[in-house]
Amino acid sequence: MLQEKDLLGIYVPIITPFDEEFEVDAASFYNQSYNLFQDEIDGLVVNGTTGESPTISQDELGVLFAAAQAAREAAHADVPIIVGTGTNDTRSTVRKTEEAGKLGAEAVLVVVPYYNKPSQQGIIEHFRRVAEVGVPVILYEVPHRTGVTLELDTVRSILDINGVIGMKDSTPNIELVTELTRLGSKPVLCGEDTLLYAALQAGAKGVMSASANVETEKFVSFIRSFVEGAHAQSHREFAELLPLIRLLFQEPNPAPIKWLLQQQGVIASGALRLPLLPVTEGLQAKLAAYL
């Protein structure tokens, strides 16, 4: 099981490839997982938002997790596999967390309940119930997707729960990680890719980056440079990655990532499940120019 002290470095929420019939493409998923493990990431997240989690069934999740495990073994990687289990229903989230534990997940990534707009206390109780399952929980705060912003005291209360080992912070600035660092909280991973460098400077222990599905070795090098204290080098490396990051978020994630990976031959198809659509021709041209 993942522990608080292990929550550092670079974690990648992997895409979920589909074939032209919109079925899970386990072979392409294996290829991408293997590549990520070979590039020495610190953690893999299966069934996160980048993996189109709202469209993935429990049976499909089992297929994906088995493929990730096989890729990890083939790559001889000692890297934790985390599963996204968060929903806007506490009972469903508890059940999915139990199922993830049975699959062998080292931790679960649990998003703040969306759409319902619960109270701050309701959100705390949601995480308390999920943590009772016994699988380590990573809080995922992403207000532009959930429609609710956690107050600082709420975040601290959730992080104080036994079994919650840290958080992914996808808020639009570094204020939260700055305050949590000042107060000595459990580790924070930055999930807002344009803020990766600033968040590390503010005290984040690592990143959970969708963009790192492509050019993974460059993201790993950037993190390693920062951790080793080579801040001038890490700043330069991040500046070189920033144009790619901006391109990858010009249209809804993970469409641009999938298009690039298909062009590179890593996955067979860039297909997405509705309501997500493939990238437009205009963005394709920009991505092709980047390549």
The label of the residue with tokens 């104080």 reads 160
Residue 149, annotated as binding a ligand = no
Per the listing, tokens 């522990």 go with: 3
> What is the crossing angle of helices 58-74 and 26-38, to 10°?
40
Please state, in angstroms and rounded to a whole number, the distance separating the CA atoms of residues 127 and 118. 12
Question: Exposure string (b/e) for 206-239, b if CB count within 10 Å is 16 or more?
Answer: bbbbbbbbbbbebbbbbbbbbeeeeeeebeebbe
Q: Tens-digit pLDDT profile for the chain (291 aa)?
A: 999 999 999 999 999 999 999 999 999 999 999 999 999 999 999 999 999 999 999 999 999 999 999 999 999 999 999 999 999 999 999 999 999 999 999 999 999 999 999 999 999 999 999 999 999 999 999 999 999 999 999 999 999 999 999 999 999 999 999 999 999 999 999 999 999 999 999 999 999 999 999 999 999 999 999 999 998 999 999 999 999 999 999 999 999 999 999 999 999 999 999 999 999 999 999 999 998
Tell me the CATH number for domain 4-290: 3.20.20.70
C-alpha–C-alpha distance, residues 76 and 216, integer Å? 18
Task: Tell the residue number behind the tokens 């803020």, with chain if given.
Answer: 195
* Contacts for 231 with CB less than 8 Å, ≥ 6 apart: 225
Residue (of 199, 171, 205) closest to 185 by Cα position? 205
- Known catalytic residue at 205: no
Sequence ranges of the domains in the chain: 4-290
Which entry of 11, 34, 96, 168 is annotated as an active-site residue?
168
Q: Is the peptide bond before 254 cis (omega within 30 degrees of 0)?
A: yes
Nearest to 51 by CA among 25, 78, 15: 15
Cα Rg of the chain (Å, integer): 18
Q: Is the pTM of this model over 0.95?
A: yes
Active-site hit among 140, 186, 197, 258: 140
Distance CA 71, CA 240 (A): 29
